[in-house]
Structure 1
Amino acid sequence: MSIQDYKSRLSDPASRKMETFSYLPPMTDDQIRKQVEWIVKHGWNPAVEHTEPEHATSNYWYMWKLPMFGETDVDAILAELKACHEANPGNHVRLIGYNNYTQSQGANMVVYRGEAV
């Protein structure tokens, strides 16, 4: 058995991988919904961030509004993800689930990928 090498290079923004799900095909709307439901089920606070593909490896992403503290309406969270994507169509958009207990990110996934430059 051999392990596949993903040739991710700083010089090629299209090749960069940002998190576990980025090695898989893009998530369907139903799969994104299930991830949001999981975050809500665990009582985590969702947040939406975005950035240009060429800056995706930076530690700084733009915050889309404030984190949605205590939000339990899955449709409201999905609407914010979509609104961010529509307002920034060329950017990567990610969903974050903040874990109140560990005070850290418990989930982090890119749900919309922008076009690489």
Structure 2
Amino acid sequence: MTDTDDRIDAALRAEEERLLAQIGEEPGFFSQAVGLFRARNAWVNWTMMIAQTALFIAGAYAAWRFFEAGTTLDALRWGLPSAVLLLMSLIIKLSLWPIAQINLLREDIVRLFVSSKS
């Protein structure tokens, strides 16, 4: 590398460090989770969490009845719905994580845009 390349690398490194210092730390898990219920479409997230909670409670009840079943047919009658309800609950909960990542990315873009203007 030439001397010019070294100076360009040093300047870029210094600018990158300055930008990273302005961005700061990534929000923690709980602040990201609470942020789901403060966004513009928070009502959708609230509805999904209420449905997820209801599905989980119904799945847990069906699982309890599955383990209490005395016959194979009763176990199947409670075990299959339990598995389906618990999986549906998990899918709904996992569908909220991309929304949290989008919110995090949006905040980072806004911070970068504001810091580049000043």
TM-score w.r.t. length of structure 2: 0.27
Structure with a larger share of its residues in strand: 1
TM-score by length of 1: 0.28
* Structure with greater helix share of residues: 2
